[in-house]
Amino acid sequence: MSFDPETGEFDFPGWDTDQVLQDLGEFIPEKNILHLPSQLKPYECDGLTTHRKMSRLVVLPETIRQCQEIMRYCRQHEIPVIARGAGTGITGGVLPDDLSIVVSLTKFNRIEKIDPLQRIAVVQPGVRNLAISEAAKPFGLQYAPDPSSQIACSIGGNVAENSGGVHCLKYGLTVNNVTGIKIIDSEGELIEIGGGNCMESPGFDLLALMHGSEGLLGIIVEITLKLIPVPPATQVVLAVFHSMVDGGKSVSDIISSGIIPAGLEMMDKVTIDAVESYMQAGYPKADALLLCELDGNQVDIRLQMEIVQQILKDNNAFDIRTSQNDEERELYWTARKSAFPAVASIQPDFYLLDGTVPRKALPEVLKKIAVLSKQYGLQVANVFHAGDGNLHPIIMYNIEIDGDYEKAVQLGSEILQHCISKGGSFTGEHGVGAEKIDQMCIQFSALELLQFHRIKAQLDVSGILNPGKAVPVLHRCAELGAMHVHNGEMPHADLPRF
């Protein structure tokens, strides 16, 4: 095998399927090793369905010991490993290939412990996000991060992507709500990082490093989560505007007032109409809709609500509604979290982006997206975590029209480059995977990418964990040098043109 930890270049030798199948059967039950085409089909992609490849083998371990044996075997025989959760990611982060074995963690689906005194939950990586709050609810507790896919996405995948959700503005991303994890490295060793309810540990912050690592540094086999009390009271205000600019200005003004809402979300006209058609949530017709959730005690909510409503009026909101009960509040949020399937119901082919910008840049970036949408002739629906500037433009196209998908990808690339130019990033919570690996060459310098490779090499000495994902090889960035501009100059001018 050839692997260069400095550049990320790799060349694995390949393997015989029948022999590996026989060898794995020594320590994995036969029923947990998938090799028939009909068995492998569900694993050919994640939520990014435009990218599909068939793996040769999918293994479903049930114990930590089995995971260790798999990693030791793959290390010995130089076989790459792709760890897979629920498959709800949308960047091709678990896209298989002919050289790799997919290790599915769906059988690691147990909640090991809910400790209401320490306010922690110890869970396996295959546990669904929503199931954690459901298990903690009898104790008056909840797990705060709530991605739109929380009914299906697994907590292991949440850690791998450092997922957010509508309540991440106040309560933080996954990294802010995990106190410990257990991982298996590429040598098959079990490593424990953090744990209990301690939010601080000595030495380098390896716990934070594992969040958003996209399966490049280890296989997560156990997670300790922070639980928080369910707020005594919660209320949502819904406001609608004649322009996205007014809505974006409201977001900045609410945060500037010193109020940190539990959630602050925006949708444009295309998304509002799609959601209303999809589930009749009672959203009014408008060019922009803002949802602002406040939680805490009743007195604080009442005082903050007065300030928020005045800010909304000052920014030309023409209709302001407040939820009158929990059922109405949950309906508003269910509708918001249904935005993606709602858009799919009117246009099945769409390309979902994930970029971030400073809040003050929201109005300008939204204008730019509108200009680019007209330029490319493709409709763009906007729905986003407005409080932290995490945009999710949805580019609609028709796969039956020749070149339409390629046009959507190019439009998406321009939107993300504009996010970067405004001091933002090309991803906020969806990760890089295989889809956005070229954008890494735009946002990061050669030296920064080199450090990423060096970090990976320390935890994955043989380079077998999810190779070719998230961090591009420097050779790739050098080839892209003629295509992109980085901070006003051609990127990576110092790299050799191999």
Q: Tokens 């974006």 belong to which residue?
A: 248
- How do the pLDDT tens digits run along the chain, 498 residues long? 666 767 767 778 889 999 999 999 999 999 999 999 999 999 999 988 888 999 999 999 999 999 999 999 999 999 999 999 999 999 999 999 989 999 999 999 999 999 999 999 999 999 999 999 999 999 999 999 999 889 999 999 999 999 988 899 999 999 999 999 999 999 999 999 998 766 666 778 899 999 999 999 999 999 999 999 999 999 999 999 999 889 988 998 999 999 999 999 999 999 999 999 999 888 899 999 999 999 999 999 999 999 999 999 999 999 999 999 999 999 999 999 899 899 989 888 999 999 999 988 888 898 899 999 999 999 999 998 888 889 999 999 999 999 999 999 999 999 999 999 999 999 988 999 999 998 899 899 989 999 999 999 999 988 999 999 999 987 778 777 634 434 434 344 444 332
SS3 readout for the chain: CEECCCCCCEECCCCCHHHHHHHHCCCCCHHHEECCHHHHHHHCCCCCCCCCCCCCEEECCCCHHHHHHHHHHHHHCCCCEEEECCCCCCCCCCCCCCCCEEEECCCCCCEEEEECCCCEEEECCCCEHHHHHHHHHHHCEECCCCCCCCCCCEHHHHHHHCCCCCCHHHHCCHHHCEEEEEEECCCCCEEEEECCCCCCCCCCCHHHHHCCCCCCCCEEEEEEEECEECCCEEEEEEEEECCHHHHHHHHHHHHHCCCCCCEEEEEEHHHHHHHHHHHCCCCCCCCEEEEEEEEECHHHHHHHHHHHHHHHHHCCCCEEEECCCHHHHHHHHHHHHCHHHHHHHHCCCEEECCEECCHHHHHHHHHHHHHHHHHHCCCEEEEEEHHHCEEEEEEECCCCCCCHHHHHHHHHHHHHHHHHHCCCECCCCCCCCCCCHHHHHHHCCHHHHHHHHHHHHHHCCCCCECCCCCCCCHHHHHHHCCCCCECCECCCCCCCCC
Fold identical between 111-229 and 347-421?
no
Under CATH, what is the fold of the domain 2-104?
Answer: 3.30.43
Domain range 347-421, CATH architecture: 2-Layer Sandwich (3.30)
Q: Rounded to whole angstroms, how far apart are CA atoms 181 and 224?
A: 6
Question: Which CATH number among 3.40.630.30, 3.40.50.720, 3.30.70.2190, 3.30.43.10 corresponds to the domain 233-340?
Answer: 3.30.70.2190
Q: Does domain 111-229 have CATH number 3.40.50.1360?
A: no
What is the residue extent of each domain of the chain?
2-104, 111-229, 233-340, 347-421
Q: Rounded to whole angstroms, how far apart are CA atoms 269 and 373?
A: 14
pTM: 0.90
Q: Which residues, including other chains, have CB under 8 Å from residue 162's CB and lie 6 or more apart?
A: 173, 174, 175, 211, 212, 429, 431
Q: Rounded to whole angstroms, how far apart are CA atoms 250 and 261?
A: 13
pLDDT of residue 166: 87
Q: Rounded to whole angstroms, how far apart are CA atoms 28 and 2?
A: 29
User: Please, are residues 331 and 281 in contact by the beta-carbon 8 Å criterion?
Assistant: yes
pLDDT of residue 420: 93
pLDDT of residue 199: 62
